[in-house]
Amino acid sequence: MMKKVGLVSHFYVHYREPVLRALANSKELSYYFLGDITQTDDIKRIDFDSEELLKKRFIRLKNKEVFHYFFWQKALLKQLKSGQFDAVIFLGDIRFLSTWVALIFLRLKRKKAFLWTHGLYGKENWVHLQIKLLFLRLSNGAFLYNNRGKQLYRQHGISESKLIPVYNSLNFEETEQNRKDYKETTKEQLLKSFTNPDLPVVFCIGRVNKIKKIPLLIEAINILKTNNFYINCFIIGDGEDKNNIEALALQLNIREQIRFTGALYDESEISRYIMSSDLCVCPGAIGLTAIHSLSYGVPALTHNHFAEQGPEHEAITPGKTGDFYKEGDVHDLANKIRECINQRLNNKEESIKNCIAVIQQYYNPQSQKTIMTRHILSELESQ
């Protein structure tokens, strides 16, 4: 009989469905998913009832807020006390008081416990740092989103054997199919809305708000224009800052180079805009957008302040899959846009190949499943 592993999260965001399916299909470990399904915000969740495989593996918990900051997961300890799990993976959020108690309980029972976490960012104050280090030390190890988190933990004396990068992923199979379905005639149709459809194209995707720092991109496009380097730009998304950004583009007399698509939710439609572009530009933190863009063979550009970045910035290798500009420096952003586009146009096929290769090697559900399962089995065999 296969060993059973419980994966505990506060809730399960929709983009994680492919990796949960990969885990549920494991032939080596039997994974179960514990968490709440109560919708408390507008973040799209996994619908376990619509997915028969996941429905059979789901165990409902109830998140209860404590002092407006901490949380307790009701029924978690009951599930752990049943002894049905040989190992448990917890969301690595220190605000979940029930996870602290569960880690101590499993340690006393000599059961394996792991965290799935961003880990350290490098900007924690001393108290926050010590709490995070203690949290990790109560577990048997951590599955991390990137190598930088591993390096930061190593600097504070955590054994390398406890730190396992598993990266992150989106729907790899869906992006592969969308790449196969894409036609150059699609690009021609999308670009004909620009005054000059023959120019290189960049895109920015996500909620149009101040966090994205899109005005820096608009200013960079204007700087490039004054230096006789012209590009078009898709802004994919909607939000409270859209009117301000449009007003800035009009003020700088580059409105004809900008197209607002509005909010798009159909991945096949989004993919057509991405694959019709030469570069993804995120002046703010990039996060999963890096994976999204590279999955379609398009390099990504974002800022170099890694303590303020999403862990997925590691998918970007300067000169191969994108680049980094000096945070807040619009002139450096303009220069890097020009460099990235020139590299792209000099060898587009090589650029596409480099981007997709990173996703195929690290940032996909099957890779995550393989790394996690292999490590858990090794830990269970060493008991």
pLDDT band at 184 (very low <50, low <70, confident <90, very high): confident
Handedness of CA 78, 80, 82, 88 (dihedral sign): positive
In this structure, what DSSP letter does residue 306 have? Answer: G
Q: What is the pLDDT of residue 301?
A: 98
DSSP 313-343: GGG--BTTTEEEE-TT-HHHHHHHHHHHHHH
> How far apart, in whole angstroms, are the C-alpha atoms of residue 265 and residue 263?
7
CATH 3.10.20.30, applies to 3-169+364-381 = no
- The structure tokens listed for 363 are 């940032």
Residue 48 is which amino acid?
Answer: F
Q: What is the pLDDT of residue 255?
A: 97
Residue ranges of alpha helices (H) inside the chain are: 17-24, 52-57, 76-81, 97-108, 126-137, 147-154, 172-181, 184-191, 214-226, 242-251, 267-275, 289-295, 330-346, 348-361, 365-381
Average pLDDT over residues 150-176: 96
Pick the closest to residue 278 from 239, 232, 225 (CA basis): 232
Provide the residue ranges of all domains of the chain, joining segments of one domain with +: 3-169+364-381, 172-361
> How far apart, in whole angstroms, are the C-alpha atoms of residue 86 and residue 83?
8
- Residue 235 contacts residue 208 (beta carbons within 8 Å): yes
- Residue 46 contacts residue 54 (beta carbons within 8 Å): yes
- What percent of the chain is predicted at pLDDT more than 90? 95
Average pLDDT over residues 236-245: 95
**pLDDT tens readout for residues 188-227:** 999 999 999 999 999 999 999 999 999 999 999 999 999 9
pLDDT at 346 over 90: yes
pLDDT at 43 over 90: no
pLDDT averaged over the chain? 96
pLDDT at 40 over 80: no
CATH fold match for the domains 3-169+364-381 and 172-361: yes
- What percent of the chain is predicted at pLDDT more than 70? 100
In Å, what is the CA distance from 45 to each residue of 11, 166, 315?
A: 7, 22, 25
Look up the pTM and report it.
0.94
Q: Domain 172-361 is in which class? A: alpha beta
Q: What is the pLDDT of residue 51?
A: 85
pLDDT at 126 over 80: yes
pLDDT at 382 over 90: no
Average pLDDT over residues 96-112: 97
Q: Which residue has the tokens 């170099």?
A: 304
Average pLDDT over residues 140-161: 96
Q: What is the pLDDT of residue 39?
A: 75
Q: What is the pLDDT of residue 378?
A: 96
Residue 84 is which amino acid?
Answer: Q
Bridge partners of 302, per DSSP, are 282, 324
Cα 123 to the center of its chain, rounded Å: 19
Tell me which of 36-45, 289-298, 326-335 is least confident.
Answer: 36-45
Q: What is the pLDDT of residue 41?
A: 76
Q: What is the pLDDT of residue 210?
A: 93
- The structure tokens listed for 318 are 């300067």
